[in-house]
Amino acid sequence: MPEPWQGSERRGAVLPFGLAEVTGPSMVPTLYHGDRLVVQYGARIRPGDVVILRHPFQQDLLVVKRAAQLREGGWWVLGDNPHAGGDSTDYGVVPEDLILGKVWFRYRPRKPAQRSPLALVLWALSAARPVFTDRSAARRLRAR
């Protein structure tokens, strides 16, 4: 689940972009614990996009999931790690007004042990990556 950094929600946002930090394993292998995310608030959501949303039952808790299908009543969201849970299979359809934004990039911070020149080069080459839309999310949903 993401922790907001200095971003703001889409309603009343000064800038349409914000930052969040991932906690937990629900989006492995796409996102890992400690990853930082660049989020566009109010972005148009399509099936397969990784999104930030408010948990339907604990609205002070932000969650990062993949939008699988737009259904009557909102979005069906799934984690990329099927063993972690905590998605629409547990709490059902998420109303559209709880979807805050779309994740565009992830950034993995440097670990203190990464001090050698080779480690720094490898980190620099892999630290920032775009978060791609997975068009197979709806197919995975039908396969369940």
Q: What pLDDT, in 10s, does the model give residues 42-94?
A: 999 999 999 999 999 998 999 999 999 999 999 999 999 988 888 999 999 99
The per-residue pLDDT for 110 is 83
Give which of 64, 36, 32 is closest to 50, Cα–Cα: 64
| Residue 12 reports pLDDT greater than 80 | no
The pLDDT score that the predictor gives to residue 68 is: 93
pTM: 0.80
Least trusted range by pLDDT, from 15-24, 51-60, 78-87, 111-120: 111-120
How many other β-carbons are positioned within 10 Å of the β-carbon of residue 87?
Answer: 22
CA distance 88 to 68: 10
Question: How much is the pLDDT for 8?
Answer: 43
Task: Provide mean pLDDT across the span 13-17.
Answer: 72
Q: What is the mean pLDDT of residues 13-24?
A: 84
Token reading at 90 = 């547990």
